Amino acid sequence: MAELSAKGSVAHDQHQRSAADRLARRWGENIVLAALVGLGYFLAARLSIGLVLKPEGVAVFWPAAGISSGVLIALGSRRARWPVAAGVTLATIAIHQLTADPLWAGAALGLCNAAEALITAELIELYFGANFLFDRVVQVLGLLVAAIIGTVISGIGGAVTYRLFNGPSAGLLTTWEHWFASDAIGIIAVAPLVIGLAAATRQPPPRSELIEGVSALAALAVMTGISISLPEDSWKTVAPVALLFPMLLWLAARCRPVFAAAAAFLVSMSVVATAVFGVGHFGDAGLAMADRVAQAQAAILFVALGAYVLAALFAERRASETRLARANMMLERERDNKLMSAQAITAAIAHEVRQPLAGIVTNASAAARWLGRTPPDHDEVQAALKRIQTESHRTSDVFDAIRALFRSGDQGRQPIDVNAIIREVIESLSGEFKDHAVEAHLDLTELPLVDAHKGQLREVIFNLVHNALEAMDGTTDRIRLLRVMTQRRDADAIKVLIEDSGPGIDPQKLERIFTAFVTTKSQGMGLGLAICRMIIEQHGGTLSATSDGKNGAVFQFVLPIGSITAHTE
Ligand code: ADP
């Protein structure tokens, strides 16, 4: 008894220690993030101090706003909210200490800057979910609207603070206008680059795209230099943006949106710098500073929005091209492998009905034996017939399920809570988790209901989890961990990721495993993934796998939320 309670308290201590370790690590990460964001914000803001308008004291371009909201959107507002807010506030206080402003004013402006990033990122997350990739036109417009709302609100706080410490010389409305314009443009010019870079580190572009993108950016830099240094007369005949357009179009058409974002950033920075330092067209000394600024802001807005819209349009086109190619491939596969699919269906049916049929045969022989006795045992015969009846019903259920699988259309779909299905599947496999010594980690975000066939979706999740469990049998050098994550992909889709720490899959063979009868298991049929992909595609979604061939595999599927409406429209 004493030993038991000692063990209990050791376990309790260990549990507390690992909880304390986790907490310390989380704090450590948050402090590093706050310091990095603070430093980035401080440096960007230092840049803008040369761009301060008098007497209001507001800078004409505030790229720092793009850093804070960009980081917050890229990392997810819920995770990075407090570290980013702390970094931004402290950086603003530090900047205002350098310009000898009162501490309270620095703190108040810091809070306004932090609130601006929080509002912008929160609005994005609310509408588009945590995975904001900035590759659709609606997302470009979304960022524009969120940036406007965030800066309209933060500008009110900023204008009031400047009024309080600069006195009436700072016109409230003018200060607000400058704050709003410089911060909104700062966000539009910089945040997409931060978001794109974060996405590119998670999923790096192929080398060819990288080389092409960087060359086009270099060419654009040269073009920007030429167009900005053109004498004023030429501007009247050659629209400057027309000069930039071919490069922007090239970047947008051939590379992912991060390159267009980098292009917009580059042009914005050049335009602002030349406007402020009196160089070239935008720095025309004959114009009042306010006019120069307005002209520069209009140019930035034009180039940036133009580049983003183009990039998003091309990204959309590329995505639909991929979908089309896949649909084509499916069609071809279906046509060429008619025989194969017939074989697949037969194999699936045989696999599923073998067991109930064997039960029927056994019970029928038993019934015959009981009848052959003298006197015949009617009770036993009746019991055997009852079992035959149950097994026959099971066989017919199996046929229904298989028919539903190969039937097109939306019959049997209903609003489904995907998280609940995941929990159900993990629960039903709890024995196997123990047998395979695998730890399950669920990271489920609240999701809207999805129109789907419940049994089929359960089959997909079951198959993916079961494959992962089996794959990890060979893992001995690291912890066997299965992570299931759900995320809101954007306004109209959800994403489920199933990640294991098994041996992974050779990247060259990733697509092949979805083909029927491809298996590496001695007892495997190689049908699971082919059927899973078929189910997900019938629901209007996509199923794919990624792996480096060493450190586990990630299977992920995306499902549209309203597939019923989408299908019947
Ligand atoms: P089966 O399980 O009958 O082999 P599947 O279609 O479900 O059929 O899987 C096909 C093949 O894909 C498996 O044999 C295995 O080699 C590979 N595979 C599937 N999931 C994983 C995973 N999580 N890790 C590594 N390999 C996997």
Whether 554 lines ligand 1, by a CB cut-off of 6 Å, is no
Task: Return the CATH class of domain 412-569.
Answer: alpha beta
pLDDT attached to residue 339: 47
Are 252 and 314 in contact, with CB atoms under 8 Å apart? yes
Whether 459 lines ligand 1, by a CB cut-off of 6 Å, is no
If you take atom 8 of ligand 1, which residue's CA is the nearest one?
Answer: 526
Which residues in the chain show pLDDT less than 70? 1-12, 14-15, 52-58, 170, 231-242, 333-345, 348, 351-353, 355-356, 394, 397-398, 400-411, 516-517, 522-527, 563-569
Tokens of 382: 């009746």
For 154, 463, 487, 504, the CA distances from 555, given in Å and listed in that order, are 42, 11, 14, 11
Q: What is the DSSP string of 8-50?
A: HHHHHHHHHHHHHHHHHHHHHHHHHHHHHHHHHHHHHHHHHHT
Tell me the C-alpha distance between 125 and 458, whole Å. Answer: 28
Mutational pocket test of ligand 1: of 352, 529, 557, the residue with most ligand atoms within 8 Å of the beta carbon: 529
Instruction: Compute φ and ψ for 557, nearest 5 degrees.
Output: -130, 145
Report the atom number in ligand 1 closest to the C-alpha of 530. Answer: 6
Whether 471 lines ligand 1, by a CB cut-off of 6 Å, is yes
Whether 545 lines ligand 1, by a CB cut-off of 6 Å, is no
* CATH match of 27-204 with 1.10.10: no
If you take atom 11 of ligand 1, which residue's CA is the nearest one?
Answer: 519
* DSSP conformation class of 472: G
The domains of the chain are located at 27-204, 207-334, 344-406, 412-569
Whether 500 lines ligand 1, by a CB cut-off of 6 Å, is yes
Are 64 and 46 in contact, with CB atoms under 8 Å apart? no
pLDDT attached to residue 342: 66
Orientation angle between helical segments 2-49 and 63-75, nearest 10 degrees: 150
If you take atom 9 of ligand 1, which residue's CA is the nearest one?
Answer: 526
Q: Are strands 493-500 and 481-490 parallel, antiparallel or unpaired?
A: antiparallel
pLDDT attached to residue 469: 93
Whether 521 lines ligand 1, by a CB cut-off of 6 Å, is yes
Report the atom number in ligand 1 closest to the C-alpha of 524. Answer: 3
Kindly report whether the global pTM for this prediction surpasses the value 0.85.
no
Q: What is the DSSP string of 432-468?
A: HHHHTT-EEEEEEPP---EEEEHHHHHHHHHHHHHHH
For 439, 440, 465, 548, the CA distances from 477, given in Å and listed in that order, are 15, 18, 21, 17
Whether 528 lines ligand 1, by a CB cut-off of 6 Å, is yes
Mutational pocket test of ligand 1: of 432, 464, 467, the residue with most ligand atoms within 8 Å of the beta carbon: 467
Tell me the C-alpha distance between 451 and 412, whole Å. Answer: 10
Tell me the C-alpha distance between 409 and 407, whole Å. Answer: 7
User: Beta partners for 558?
Assistant: 495, 542
Tokens of 251: 């970047």
Are 562 and 451 in contact, with CB atoms under 8 Å apart? yes
Are 458 and 420 in contact, with CB atoms under 8 Å apart? no
If you take atom 1 of ligand 1, which residue's CA is the nearest one?
Answer: 526
Q: Are strands 450-453 and 439-444 parallel, antiparallel or unpaired?
A: unpaired
Who's near 343: CB < 8 A, 6+ residues apart? Answer: 516, 517
Report the atom number in ligand 1 closest to the C-alpha of 520. Answer: 14
Who's near 368: CB < 8 A, 6+ residues apart? Answer: none
If you take atom 20 of ligand 1, which residue's CA is the nearest one?
Answer: 467
Whether 502 lines ligand 1, by a CB cut-off of 6 Å, is yes
Whether 520 lines ligand 1, by a CB cut-off of 6 Å, is yes
Tell me the C-alpha distance between 445 and 433, whole Å. Answer: 23
Q: Is 561 exposed, middle or buried (0-12, 13-18, 19+ CB in 10 A)?
A: buried
Whether 186 lines ligand 1, by a CB cut-off of 6 Å, is no
Q: Tell me how far the alpha carbon of residue 499 lies from the centroid of ligand 1, in angstroms.
A: 13
Q: Tell me how far the alpha carbon of residue 513 lies from the centroid of ligand 1, in angstroms.
A: 7
Mutational pocket test of ligand 1: of 465, 469, 500, 519, the residue with most ligand atoms within 8 Å of the beta carbon: 519
Task: Choose among 84, 86, 78, 92: nearest CA to 126.
Answer: 78
Report the atom number in ligand 1 closest to the C-alpha of 498. Answer: 23
Q: Tell me how far the alpha carbon of residue 469 lies from the centroid of ligand 1, in angstroms.
A: 10
Number of H helices, E strands in the chain: 18, 7
Task: Choose among 117, 31, 132, 119: nearest CA to 74.
Answer: 132
Q: Give the H/E segment covering residue 334.
A: helix 289-336
Judged by phi (left if over 0) then psi (alpha if -120 to 50, else beta), residue 165 lies in alpha
Who's near 103: CB < 8 A, 6+ residues apart? Answer: 93, 96, 97
pLDDT attached to residue 406: 63
If you take atom 17 of ligand 1, which residue's CA is the nearest one?
Answer: 513
Whether 525 lines ligand 1, by a CB cut-off of 6 Å, is yes
Mutational pocket test of ligand 1: of 351, 480, 506, 513, the residue with most ligand atoms within 8 Å of the beta carbon: 513
How many other CB atoms are there within 10 angstroms of residue 360's CB atom? 19
Whether 519 lines ligand 1, by a CB cut-off of 6 Å, is yes
- The full 3-state SS of 375-435, as one line of letters, equals CCCHHHHHHHHHHHHHHHHHHHHHHHHHHHHHCCCCCCEEEECHHHHHHHHHHHCHHHHHH
Tokens of 216: 């086009």
Read off the amino acid at residue 120: T
Are 65 and 113 in contact, with CB atoms under 8 Å apart? yes
